[in-house]
A and B are shown apart, each in its own frame.
Chain A
């Protein structure tokens, strides 16, 4: 059974504007899937529907065998098991780095302060930011903040990770420090769904690539097939534009 199943999902922002059109795909356990496409094509919306941050009007989404679309009371519990990383980091600016990492652990998972702190420090060590534990997010660079955001998701022991354009808001020289963490995560076998424009990352670690345009999944193919010989014209155009230099 796949970790994430998206079946015939449609979403309207208003009756005139349909952002997702009958999207169907699945992510197997341990698989890394990159979602790409031009802006406004619905990639971010699609990934946010997976942990029900965005409600959908039609279709079914299953995560780890649980139906997210009909779930109500247990949603917070499920969300805590799905790690999410945002384009603009969204660390909590009024909490220190270590507190950012402990909040979910103590309140949602009910861990003790000490256990949460120990886990937080372990994760900070992993992303190489132990020295910044007592700082506030506003005192860190973009790349460091995004690494903290990844650590914040990881301390919850997620069953899969969602990345929503994790490097789009970063200076070029900070992109790699974030990608490195993600590559390592992929190598460890984490199930990942990544919205990104970083084709280098896709080529390196992705198993599959989903190409979206105007709310539709235009192409859903193995990495080699997608980069080697994309079937749709739209994907060919897109690739020729972003790979030309």
Chain B
């Protein structure tokens, strides 16, 4: 039964390919994936009634959905491996993209965040302008700008070279996400430095440290510790914000889940798996950051309570 269904799907592939993202909302498609016969005689788990999920499409009657958790071990239509493998390669891209973007966010965020706490007026102005710009343009728009607009603005050859890069989408997503997140990190760094007693800066200055040395040896080690929890939160946001990168063609986890859903019609399995993977990834990061936070804690200053 399933084989036949998959074939049917393959037959429709060409048409399906052009369907917009929100296909689930189209009643015709919903009906086709949920034909009343589809689930008959099959294991129905965790409950056969999915009506409340999809709106009771058939006049309040329970709609059977063809659950198939074994789908992950089926081959993908492009015959490069299983759906599970495809999700895993998406996860790899997600992690790599998040790490690269976080690197940019952390470095730029620290620089801008520090600038906003310097005595020089112009530094504060530049920092504020930077934050307002990158924080207040929607991430999706920023990704489109990096991907579609920036290469056009570059001088001829360079623009063409960039457009022809194989991992162009990845680089655009990395820059877009990195700079977007850097504005948020910068705001946190500023808050952390300003939260320190004014006397700490004075004490550093008074023993003869230069401004840079005062930041390097006193203010930053303290500020980073204070803002560790919100920084963890920003890192998790970076991971989650990799998902919109699928719109410019990065094959990360959400993109893989979507293509699995398109090929197999197992929409719930595909996105349940994606959701579960995101949750596990976040949990691992959270636990890791907690351990790190404990190791960096200073006795009598910010020890865990």
Contact = CB atoms under 8 A, between A and B. Distances in A.
Given A94-B225, A94-B301, A108 B208 contact: yes
Contacts of A135: 299
B283 interface: no
A104 B207 contact: yes
A93 B298 contact: yes
A239 B285 CA distance: 62
Interface stretch (A18-26, A79-87, A210-218): A79-87
Contacts of A77: 208
Contacts of A103: 207, 209, 217
Interface stretch (B41-49, B92-100, B198-206): B198-206
B202 A108 contact: no
Contacts, number: 82
Contact of A93 (B204, B207, B217, B222): B222
Contacts of A80: 207-208
A103 B205 CA distance: 12
A201 interface: no
B145 to A, nearest CB: 40
B301 A93 contact: yes
Given A88-B197, A90-B199, A92-B200, A108 B207 contact: yes
Contact of B208 (A87, A91, A104, A136): A104
A156 B202 CA distance: 16
Nearest to A153: B207
Contacts of B210: 76
A189 interface: no
Contact of B299 (A86, A87, A107, A139): A139
B304 interface: no
B71 to A, nearest CB: 52
B300 A137 contact: yes
Interface in B178-218: 197, 199-200, 202-210, 213, 217-218
B202 A86 contact: yes
A57 B217 CA distance: 30
A108 B209 contact: yes
A93 B195 CA distance: 14
Contact of A79 (B206, B300, B301): B206
Contacts of B301: 93-94, 136-138
Contacts of A84: 202-203, 206-207
Contacts of A76: 205, 208-210
B197 A139 contact: no
A139 B299 CA distance: 7
Nearest to B298: A94
A156 to B, nearest CB: 6
Interface in A215-241: none
Contacts of A53: 202, 205-206
Given A48-B202, A76-B208, A90-B197, 5 more contacts: A86-B203, A92-B218, A94-B298, A107-B213, A108-B208
26 contacts: A53-B202, A76-B205, A76-B208, A77-B208, A78-B208, A80-B208, A81-B208, A84-B202, A86-B199, A86-B202, A86-B203, A86-B206, A90-B197, A90-B200, A94-B222, A103-B207, A104-B208, A107-B213, A107-B217, A109-B208, A135-B299, A136-B299, A136-B301, A138-B301, A139-B299, A156-B208
Interface of B: 197, 199-200, 202-210, 213, 217-218, 221-222, 225, 298-301
Pairs A-B, 10 closest by C-beta atoms: A138-B300, A80-B208, A90-B203, A104-B207, A108-B208, A84-B206, A90-B199, A93-B301, A139-B300, A76-B208
